Amino acid sequence: MNHIVGLDIGGANIKAAHSDGKCRSRSFPLWKSPDTLAETLASLIGDWLPCAGVAVTMTGELADCFATKAEGVNRILAAVEQAADRTPIAVWQTVGEFVNTPTARDFWQLTAAANWHALATFVGRVAPEGTVLLLDIGSTTTDIVPIQHGLPNPTGRTDSERLISAELVYSGVRRTPVCAVAYSVPIERKVTGNGYSQLAAEFFATTQDVYLLHGDVSEDSADLDTANGQPATIAEAHDRLARQLCCDRSELSLDEATSVADFLANVQRQRISGAIDRVMTTLDSPCESVIVSGEGSFLGHQILDNHSKLKDVSRHSLTEMFSAETSTAACAFALTRLASERPSTFTDIDLSNLLSS
């Protein structure tokens, strides 16, 4: 009963964490079946209940099954309330505090897409002094968060503001369509005059295929969450990437597909590196260390290894500090730690809920 459960509810994935360190991640395309969210949450955390409280953050309110973000926040919280039953719920906001669900609904702008802020607040204690960058690369997006003297110090607070400031890059290591990474790729064909081929503007392959072929992601024949619903294997990634060039495996060899994947991986590295450069121009002082987390931590390290200004700064990895599972579910894990450090969180939340009912 004394443990805390953390939930990070995205539009395509749900991350859950237990205050003892256990973490779980589940693919869940929210836009396809929002009405089953409560059931899915209950199955994910059911054996962790009852508990002292459930700490929540989200990005799923942007899913296009909701007419507005306010509706998305409301319906996601309703699903959490149903799944948690009578367990007290605390919701993280970008002001750096937990609030009850009525307040989270009333001030939905502070509730929407607040997971990066929870993570930055937690990891800030790794380097409580000076200027630090959090580089969190996930399946869909990349967060680049300036941390000053242990606290988040971003230019933007909302997703739209963070896109403008480059603190949010809508590019990740699993779900990003290949045609959103580059317009064309180098390929040797007799009909090409400049050695490049356009990519089909179609959802044939994703960055997961790129990193399967590039050797950064392990094969998983049980993973069917791919562009065509076929297994996440090198052979199938070859097929998917070939179709991105309007070919099949008989027309594009595995070596050629791997070469295309290498090019695409390099383009994505350059894009994220460029965003880091933009964020660094806003810092009050030189960056002294970088904290790397997320499913795409491997990409984060590759980028930093080749970054002229950051390759020699101190580096902290959540994968090494905790585990790969924790790093992937880092925002949910951060919630459990933040809530645990605030002993009155769920007492106050529970009282507030009673007073508001």
Taking only the tens place, the pLDDT of each residue in 94-109 is 999 999 999 999 999 9
Question: pTM surpassing 0.75?
Answer: yes
Geometric angle at alpha carbon 35, from 34 and 36, rounded to 5°: 90
CB-side exposure of 3: number of CA atoms within 13 Å? Answer: 14
User: Which CATH number is 4-116+329-356 given?
Assistant: 3.30.420.40
How much is the average pLDDT of 311-329?
95
Rg (CA), the chain: 21
H-type helices in 124-251, by residue range? 159-165, 207-214, 234-244
Residue 5 vs residue 342, higher pLDDT: 5
pLDDT tens, position by position, 157-171: 999 999 999 999 999
Q: Domain 129-174+270-325 is classified in which CATH homologous superfamily?
A: conserved archaeal protein q6m145 (3.30.420.190)
Q: Where are the domains of the chain?
A: 4-116+329-356, 129-174+270-325, 187-259
DSSP 200: P
Q: What is the C-alpha separation between 321 and 334, in angstroms, rounded?
A: 13
CB 137 within 8 A of CB 116: no
Give 72-78's long-range contacts (Cβ < 8 A, gap of 24+). 72/112, 73/104, 73/105, 73/108, 73/111, 73/112, 74/105, 74/108, 75/34, 75/37, 76/9, 76/37, 77/101, 77/104, 77/105, 78/38
pLDDT digits (tens, 9 = 90+) for 112-171: 999 999 999 999 988 888 999 999 999 999 999 999 999 999 999 999 999 999 999 999
Q: Which amino acid is at 186?
A: P
Interval 160-199: pLDDT, tens? 999 999 999 999 999 999 999 999 999 976 555 678 999 9
pLDDT tens-digit series, residues 218-256: 999 999 999 999 999 999 999 999 999 999 999 999 999
Distance CA 12, CA 346 (A): 28
pLDDT in tens, 327-357: 999 999 999 999 998 877 887 765 454 344 3
